[in-house]
Amino acid sequence: MRLDYSHCPDYHFPHWIRAEVGVSEDDLNGVMDINHWLGEQVGELGTIWGYERERQLPGHINPYGSAALRNTRIIYWWRFQQANHAMLMKLQWST
């Protein structure tokens, strides 16, 4: 899974890791593994780190919809208060 780091100093959790995953890819199971691993290695969700996901629909959806939804991309964001937690995650899970 490709993980991208960015620093957003105006936020409570300024260190962000982003992953973009296709709906049909096996990486979706990896996201659940990452969240479990972060809970054990970093600490409590919402206190030290945060997580969210967003679905990006393709620009054009055909009238039947089903084929287009399979091509949807999901963006996962992990946010951290400390840079070392973000880098630990990136080192552990980036491919």
What pLDDT was estimated at residue 26?
57
Give the separation between CA 65 and CA 59, rounded to whole angstroms: 12
Domain boundaries, the chain: 4-93
Q: pLDDT tens-digit profile of 3-62?
A: 999 999 999 999 999 998 876 665 667 788 899 999 999 998 999 999 998 877 666 555
Greater pLDDT, 67 or 10: 10
Its pTM stands at: 0.79
Q: Which residues 6+ apart lie within 8 Å of 8 measured at CB?
A: 14, 16
